[in-house]
Structure 1
Amino acid sequence: MVVTSRDVARLAGVSQPTVSRALRDDIRVSEQTKQRVREAAQLLGYIPSEAGRALSSGRTRRIGMLLTDLDSQFYSHIIAPVHRELERLGYQLMLHTETADNDTIVERLLANGLDGVILATTTIDSAAPLRLRDRGLPFVYFNRTGSLVDADATVVDAAPGYREAVRAAVDLGHRNVAAVLGPSNTSTAQHREQALRAALGEHGIVLDERLVRRVPYSSAAGEIAARELLESAGEPAPTLVFCGNDVVAYGALNAAHRLGLRVPDDLSVVGFDDLPEAAWPIIDLATVGFDIAGMASASANLVVRRIERPGDELERAVFASSFHLRRTLGPAR
Structure 2
Amino acid sequence: MTTITSHDVARLAGVSQPTVSRALRDDPRVSPATKEKVRKAARALNYVPSEVGRSLSTRSTRRIGVIVTDLTNPFYPHVVAPLHDELESLGYRMMLLTERSDEAVAEENLLDQSLDGVVLATATTDSRLPAQLDRRDIPYVFLNRDTGRAGDYASVVDNEGGGRLVAREIAALGHRRVAGVFGAANTTTGRERELGFRLALADEGIGLPEDGVVRGPFEYDTGYRALPRLLDAAQRPTAVFCGNDVVAVGVLNAARAAGLRVPEDLTVVGFDDLPMASWEVLRLTTVRHDLPELARQAARLLVRRITGDADSAGERLVLPTEFVPRGTHGRPSA
Aligned equivalent of 2:66 = 65
Residues 259, 134 of structure 1: alpha-carbon distance in 2 compared, 3 angstrom cutoff: same
Structure 1 or 2, whichever has the larger Rg, is 1
> Is residue 2:247 matched to residue 1:248?
yes
3-state secondary structure, aligned to 1:282: coil
**CA 1:108–1:96 in 2, change beyond 3 Å: closer, same or farther?**
same
- Once the two structures are TM-superposed, the CA of residue 309 in structure 1 deviates from its matched residue by 1.4
Cα gap change, 1:10 to 1:166, in 2 (>3 Å)? closer
TM-score normalised by structure 1 residue count: 0.88
Helix, strand or coil at the partner of 1:273: coil
Q: Does 1:80 align with 2:81?
A: yes
Kept after mapping to 1: 8 A contact 2:160/2:194: no
Q: Quote the Cα distance in structure 2 between the aligned partners of 1:11 and 1:322.
A: 48
CA distance in 2: counterparts of 1:277 and 1:7, whole angstroms: 45
Give the aligned partner of residue 194 of structure 1. 195
State the match for 1:170 in structure 2: 171
**Quick one: structure 1 residues 171 and 125, their matched pair in 2 at CA, closer, same or farther if it must change by over 3 Å?**
same
Q: Does 1:284 align with 2:262?
A: no
Deviations 1:6-51 (A, max 9, x none): 6778999998656644654656679999999899989988654333
In structure 2, runs of 5+ residues without a counterpart are none
Output aligned runs, 1:140-179, within 5 Å: 140-146=141-147, 150-179=151-180
What is the alpha-carbon distance in structure 2 between the residues aligned to residue 180 and residue 326 of structure 1?
A: 19
Query: Once structures 1 and 2 are overlaid, which stretch shifts more, 110-119 or 217-226?
Result: 110-119
Q: Corresponding residue for 1:206?
A: 207
Alpha-carbon distance in 2 for matches of 1:186, 1:202:
25
| SS of alignment partner, residue 274 of structure 1 | coil
Contact map agreement 1:103 1:128 (CA 8 A) in 2: no
Partners of 2:230 and 2:149 lie apart in 1 by 34
Structure 2 distance, partners of 1:294, 1:40, is 28
- The SS at the match of 1:111 is coil
Identity of aligned residues (%): 52
The 5 Å alignment of 1:6-155 reads 20-21=21-22, 24=25, 26=27, 48-102=49-103, 105-106=106-107, 108-111=109-112, 113-146=114-147, 150-155=151-156
CA 149–64 in structure 1, closer or farther in 2 if over 3 Å, else same: farther
Aligned residues: 331
Q: Give, in whole Å, the separation in 1 of the partners of 2:72 and 2:107.
A: 21
SS in 1 for 2:318: strand
Q: Does 1:269 pair with 2:239? A: no
- Distance apart, 1:222 and its partner CA: 1.2
Query: Could you say what secondary structure the match of 2:163 adopts?
Result: helix
Q: Distance in 2 between matches of 1:269 and 1:288?
A: 12
Q: TM-score, normalised on structure 2?
A: 0.88
Determine the C-alpha separation between the residues in 2 that align with 1:293 and 1:193. 24
Q: Amino acid of the residue matched to residue 318 of structure 2?
A: V
For the residue of structure 1 that corresponds to 2:65, the secondary structure is strand
Q: Within 1, Cα distance between the matches of 2:236 and 2:20?
A: 73
Measure, in 2, the Cα distance between the counterparts of 1:243 and 1:11: 54
Partner of 2:237: 238
Once the two structures are TM-superposed, the CA of residue 143 in structure 1 deviates from its matched residue by: 1.2
Residues 283, 326 of structure 2: 8 Å contact kept: yes
SS of corresponding position for 1:74: coil
> Is 2:321 the partner of 1:321?
yes
Deviations for 1:251-281, whole angstroms, at most 9, x for unmatched residues?
0011111111111111110111111111111
State the distance in 1 between where 2:328 and 2:41 align.
Answer: 60
Q: Which runs of 5+ in 1 are unaligned?
A: none
Corresponding letter in the other structure for 1:239: T
- Residue 296 (1) aligns with residue 295 (2): yes
The Cα of 1:324 is off from its aligned counterpart by 0.7
Deviations 1:283-332 (A, max 9, x none): 01111121111111000001111001166332110111111111100110
1:251 is paired with a residue whose SS is helix
